[in-house]
Amino acid sequence: MRAQAEHDQRDPPTPQGGGAPKTLRIWLIGGFRVSVGSRSIGEQVWHLRKAGSLLKVLALAEGHRLHLEQVMEMLWSDLTPKAALNNLHQILHVARRTLEPSALARSSSAASRYLRLRGEQLTLCPDSPLWVDVEAFQEAAATARPGAPGVSGGHRSVRRRALARGPLRGVG
């Protein structure tokens, strides 16, 4: 929590649609939540569940990037590559609109600050600030004093548990 408060102090809000991009925050531990700056985006706001799932897999991916084929295999392993690619483009559009409704409403060709598709690579927040609770937890656990009360060595498998435990269950 202290890390979150310190991050908030370093990232003052900017006017909607202008200035520096706002921090995208993603919570996966204990339930899925997203915020962009001070705007909270609940799970029920995602018009397509797979758009939220896309954010989840990118948030947990190394470097917050994945090859298109990896994303398609994770989200639509039962579809043909062509059908999976069509679905990916659709949920990418929905996810961008959900994260940046005012910016993308002005122009359908506007580039997203939070989701970039370049070539065959999909990246979450390539040039924008990103905070993911799993990473904050891992960082806090790594810097905690060994042997301190309440500190265990189990922090290494947080990503694996987050994937298996709930946020992505039923993604297929």
What are the strands, taking DSSP E only, across the chain? 24-27, 33-36, 39-41, 65-67, 115-118, 121-124, 130-132
Residue at 82 is within a domain: yes
Tokens of 21: 């991009």
Tokens of 129: 């600030």
Structural domains in the chain (count): 1
List, for residues 67-76, the tens digit of each pLDDT value.
999 999 999 9
How much is the pLDDT for 42? Answer: 79
How much is the pLDDT for 106? Answer: 54
Residue at 155 is within a domain: yes
Residue at 171 is within a domain: no
List, for residues 108-119, the tens digit of each pLDDT value.
556 788 999 999
Angstrom CA distances, 55 to 19, 147, 161, stand at 24, 35, 17
Residue at 91 is within a domain: yes
pLDDT band at 161 (very low <50, low <70, confident <90, very high): low
pLDDT-wise least confident of 10-19, 108-117, 144-153: 10-19
Angstrom CA distances, 52 to 58, 145, 158, stand at 10, 35, 20
Residue at 172 is within a domain: no
Domain membership of residue 65 as a residue range: 2-165
CATH number for position 64: 1.10.10.10
Q: Minimal CA–CA distance to 12: which of 133, 115, 111, 129?
A: 129
pLDDT band at 44 (very low <50, low <70, confident <90, very high): confident
Residue at 23 is within a domain: yes
